[in-house]
Structure 1
């Protein structure tokens, strides 16, 4: 057992050291506005040089530092969370491979090398989702990998269209592609790929299904790796997206995703799926602000969201671990008395998610809402921004009422405590970053202060919708739509909202079951039917009968020859 412990702690120290180093270098590069390209000549084949290019600027270094820091905390957390797992070393190696794929995606200015990290994320995420080997995990893994494969195909088509510009180093061409047909096609393919990887409508159903993975994986995936890859790609391609004319559609899709996930989280009772839907809501917010032409602000919210979302999943994993793998919030309650440390961290992460002043989420979220009030938005997009903010506070207060302050509804035989040292240390670091990370990042990313002048009503509108959302979430916590008779009057809207607008059914039954069943009919009637009868099997039976007849003629019997001769003569004169 000691060598397994050594693997975990060596990985933790390695990732933490390079994460902090990358953060300091990112701040230094931002301060002096530096950007380095490093070419690595891999090999030379017949005068063709195979070159690997790496891009190191402030954005890639800071994002890489955040990924490595959160990964180190997750591996330290994993040491106690998966203590009884025999294959914990395999799990840690898969997590390290996952982080390596994300590193390759972050520092690559070349679309082909980005594809290596892009596909590596998809493959390793499938292996991590099916880590608990059950039929549900297998179905969730297939839904995850097949949804991401659609984006991989779009990425490959974008690589093919980049041939028109002479190189795959997109950083040299993305600002000067213009509005040509090739630029519009590349922009559309990149938007499509980012929508599948970041689970925007209509590809949102795989994100809650990926909750079948272990909770440390969820803390890593939903904070800084898999789902943020699409947003990071759109940040790099932002000038191309804004110039191609597809930004309006990205704004509508991001706003609809934000609204749908916030509404669905208020009808959900699975703890991990509620947090997954909150991730989906924040991804829609990032996509929406990206489509308005603020890539630095989207990157700012991407980093602050990574901090409190990793903490949120760590606290949820600690609760699930202590409650005997129970994820239903209706069986929780009064955790503040049993798990005070975890409950305090859980409250801090939820308040940061709601945009509580002076926590990490406040600095980015409030700035996004004020800039959306300052921009030329239509009424629908304005409604999406602010109503979804109220929904975020609503499902957060509902979640806290069910888990931390309500109850208790737990099984009495559960021994609930939060005395796990490694899990608590990981949460302590993330709480510290969730409190001070927003102000720290705001000084680095926006060194020049901004002054936003708005009317009084627009200035306090975010606060008003948060207050109304908190009141609604408090009252919603008293109603359980599954058990109360009043829920029967709202069965259709509640089932529609609680099932993500029926997207899981469309992604599985509509997209998979229908074509697969029609393909089975075609297989039985065509491939195994007429093609066999008129093809291989038909030729087999024909030549078998001919060979039997010829074999009968070769028998040395006069009667057989005579009979065959008379038979042919009779047939000849008959016809």
Structure 2
């Protein structure tokens, strides 16, 4: 009975995902867009409406969110077994999915804020779910970083009053010709880069790994971090023809480069996959800033399929390794957990862009468009070197998991027969293999024309080969050198971004607040406030006690003086 709620939600989520897929197919074939308006309340001339936008993009995205959440709920049935609060966990996941649904179908900034803020609040509850020191720190870092984006959305709502309405979908064409409205584009970009963890707000994404693994599978594939990308896709007309797109392109490519380098020197299994998410988010931001919004949406959907599967496989391995996440303890897993290792390798190959898997169709197309575009050398280097880094950390992870020696306990029992987890992983594996080609056929009516000459034809293949070689070299690297250790520490800490964006800012505030407490609360306020007044009253009461203690003459004289003073006061 305890797990009955899991089965109910799994069934309904899966059925709704199929329904939304059918509606998306109908809308993309008929080129249909529906605007549903609901009048919430009308007082005199003030009318508050709820507007919903239903088109093929929102339907496909909702289908993907519901499909992944259904697999995650089914996966949680086994993963969270023994948890006394599993019903609370499932309800929090449902609130999380509901907030994302509201954000997806909202063409109104106020209803977007409701979904946006709901994602931030519920993500805090999920990150601190295990209620320990690390999860509380990670939860505060997550919610405060996302709060910056909430403030930017609020400021853009205020600025939208210049047009007299909050339904931005009506004013997108006007935004192109109004220079003042470029401010909304800047605010929306800042909101999106906080939610999607771009530089300089990247430090919260690896910290959010303190949440249970099913939550990580949901967050990193289709909900929290993709909300910023989806919002920018909707607002893409605002900034594509301005300098804001250059800013977004630079931030996206730098994030992609930084996270790829950090993942190559990381040993935490979940953190490696989280940094790969950050790398792919930078890729989506970059290609969106170049003007290919449908290509960014295509990669968003294809990435969600294999990334959720990667986290589910990681959770299965961590479950069997007695909650150890260090990949140096893992090795030769292919002999003990063959099914999970096959799924993990399929996810890794899809991430690398292996031919005919989900990531191949979107990633190959993005890189070919970059080769055809007029990019400068810096952006070109960031794009292709970061792609090589993606292949490098995937090959390194594969070596540590599959081919290195087992470094775990001498007595161990691996369980490869958890069929609940295996079934949910197998569903996502099927979509990781077939989903890319299906989306390619659905989203593009005609094939993209790609013309590459000379060495550009082999550039992607060269980058892949160099990435594989680099992954093997990093795997074999000897860390006994002092300077190598310093470089490792710098890259492993995301270029000290955690220190710069959180610890440095917090340290100044905490130091000043400690000085203020010592000076005021423990200093002057202590003397002038409650404690000082208490000691003063104690002295007066002690004097009064000494005067009145068996000294009836002093008492009578004091009473007489008070009596005379009262008479003088009354006569005046």
Task: Return the TM-score normalized by structure 1.
Answer: 0.92
Contact 2:261 2:389 in 1 (8 A): yes
Match of 1:495 among 481, 484, 489: 489
**Cα gap change, 1:559/1:535 in structure 2, threshold over 3 Å: closer, same or farther?**
closer
Does 507-516 or 387-396 show the bigger shift? 507-516
Are 2:176 and 2:237, in contact at CA under 8 Å, matched by a contact in 1?
no
CA deviations on 1:242-281 (whole Å, 9 max, x unpaired) are 1342111111110000000000001100000000000000
CA shift for structure 1 position 441: 0.5
Q: Residues 458-537 of structure 1 correspond to what in structure 2 (within 5 A)?
A: 458-479=456-477, 481=479, 485-486=480-481, 488-526=482-520, 529=523
Give me the whole-angstrom Cα distance separating, in 2, the residues matched to 1:372 and 1:528. Answer: 61
**Structure 1 residues 408, 37: CA separation in 2 closer, same or farther (over 3 Å shift)?**
same
Q: In the alignment, what sits opposite 2:556?
A: 557
2:236 matched residue in structure 1: 238
- Specify the alignment match of 1:573 in structure 2: none
In structure 1, stretches of 5+ residues that fail to align are: 567-575
User: Residues 39-118 of structure 1 correspond to what in structure 2 (within 5 A)?
Assistant: 39-46=37-44, 48-118=46-116
Q: Is the 8 A contact 1:187 1:244 kept in 2?
A: no
With over 3 angstroms needed to count, the CA separation of the structure-2 counterparts of 1:237 and 1:559, relative to structure 1, is closer
Per-residue deviation, residues 195-218 of structure 1 (Å, max 9, x unmatched): 100000111011000000110000
Q: Per-residue deviation at 1:474?
A: 1.5
In the TM superposition, what are the counterparts of 1:246-325 in structure 2 within 5 Å?
246-325=244-323
Q: How far did residue 475 of structure 1 move?
A: 2.4
CA–CA distance in structure 2, aligned partners of residues 533 and 455 of structure 1: 81
SS at match of 1:54: strand
Distance 2:200 2:70 in 1: 33
Query: 1:18 — aligned with what?
Result: 16
Q: Distance in 1 between matches of 2:488 and 2:171?
A: 48
Residues in 1 aligned to 2:23 and 2:61: alpha-carbon distance in whole angstroms: 11
2:247, 2:469 → 1: CA distance?
Answer: 33
Q: RMSD in angstroms over aligned alpha carbons?
A: 2.5
Measure, in 1, the Cα distance between the counterparts of 2:334 and 2:248.
Answer: 41
CA contact (8 A) 1:300 1:364 kept: yes
Give the TM-score normalised by the residue count of structure 2: 0.93
Q: Distance in 2 between matches of 1:431 and 1:152?
A: 35
- Picking from 206, 222, 225, the partner of 2:223 is 225
Q: Using the TM superposition, name which of 19-28 and 47-56 deviates more.
A: 47-56
Q: CA deviation at 1:489?
A: 2.7
Relative to structure 1, the CA distance from residue 105 to residue 413 in structure 2 (aligned partners, 3 Å threshold; closer, same or farther) is: same
Equivalent residue for 1:379?
377
Q: How far apart are residue 353 of structure 1 and its match?
A: 0.1
Cα 1:547–1:304 shift into 2, 3 Å: same
Structural mapping, 1:203-218, within 5 Å = 203-218=201-216
* Residue 533 of structure 1, CA deviation: 6.5
Return the alpha-carbon distance in structure 2 between the equivalents of residues 374 and 246 of structure 1. Answer: 22
Separation of aligned partners in 2, 1:548 and 1:179: 80
- Look up the match of 2:163: 165
Secondary structure in 2 matching 1:131: coil
Mind listing any 5+ residue stretches in structure 2 that lack a counterpart?
548-553, 566-572
Counterpart of 1:201?
Answer: 199
Note the C-alpha offset of 1:127.
0.6
Q: 1:177 to 1:539 in 2, by over 3 A?
A: farther
CA apart distance, 1:527:
6.4
Residue 202 of structure 2 aligns to a residue whose secondary structure is coil
1:394, 1:474 within 8 Å by CA — same for their partners in 2? yes
Indicate the residue corresponding to 2:340 in structure 1.
342
Looking at structure 1, the residues matched to 415 and 496 of structure 2 have their Cα atoms a distance apart, in angstroms, of 38
Hey, what's the Cα distance between the residues in 1 that align with 2:314 and 2:478? 21
User: 1:544, 1:337 → 2: CA distance?
Assistant: 79
What is the rounded CA distance, in whole Å, between the counterparts of 1:279 and 1:184 in structure 2?
29
Deviates more, 1:279-288 or 1:237-246: 237-246
SS at match of 1:75: helix
Any residues of structure 2 matched to 1:445-460 within 5 Å, and which? Answer: 445-460=443-458
Compared with structure 1, are the counterparts of its residues 387 and 50 closer, same or farther at alpha carbon in structure 2 (3 Å cutoff)?
same
Larger mean CA deviation between 287-296 and 3-12 belongs to 3-12
Partner of 1:420: 418
For residues 558 and 165 of structure 1, do their structure 2 counterparts lie closer, same or farther at Cα, with a shift above 3 Å needed?
same
Question: SS of the residue aligned with 2:161?
Answer: helix
Does residue 37 of the first structure (1) align with residue 71 of the second (2)? no
